[in-house]
Structure 1
Amino acid sequence: MIRRLFYLSLGALITLWVMRRLQALHPNHVARRTVSGAAGMLAQVRDFTSDALGEAADRETELRARFGLGDSDHND
């Protein structure tokens, strides 16, 4: 009797776990996770790009000052 109760409980827990995993694979959930992941990655790329462009502009200003080339606004 106890063995049957154990296996019945085990089967119920496994069924519950599998059902939750299957619900997580529902197309709406997958699409939502994909969109949020892509949005997060896009934000990271934007942050990196703005940092890189800011550093490049600072370095250009530093090099122009060192070699006496003047402002970058007055390109020939």
Structure 2
Amino acid sequence: MIRRLFYLSLGAFLALWVVRRLQALQPDHVARRTADRATGMLRQVRDFTHDVLGEAAERETELRARFGLGNSENHS
């Protein structure tokens, strides 16, 4: 009796797991996950670009000060 209950529970669990996996493969779910990942990646690229441009501007200011080239507004 306990063995039957175990296999019945196992079968129910596996059926539920398979249904959820199949639902995750539906095109609207795949498209939503892809869009979310693309949005996250775009946000990371924007943050990286912002950091790099900030560091480059800071370094340019340091070099102009070191070599007495004046401020960057005169040379744009």
Same fold (TM over 0.5): yes
Gaps of 5+ in 1: none
Please give the per-residue CA displacement for 1:2-58, whole angstroms capped at 9, x wherever unaligned: 544433332222111101110011110010011001101100110110011001000
Structure 1 vs Structure 2: percent identity of aligned residues?
Answer: 75
Runs of 4+ in 1 over 6 A off after TM superposition: none
1:15 aligns with 2:15: yes
CA distance in 2: counterparts of 1:45 and 1:15, whole angstroms: 40
TM-fit CA distance, 1:72: 1.3
May I ask how many residue pairs the two structures share in their alignment?
Answer: 76
CA RMSD of the aligned region, Å?
1.6
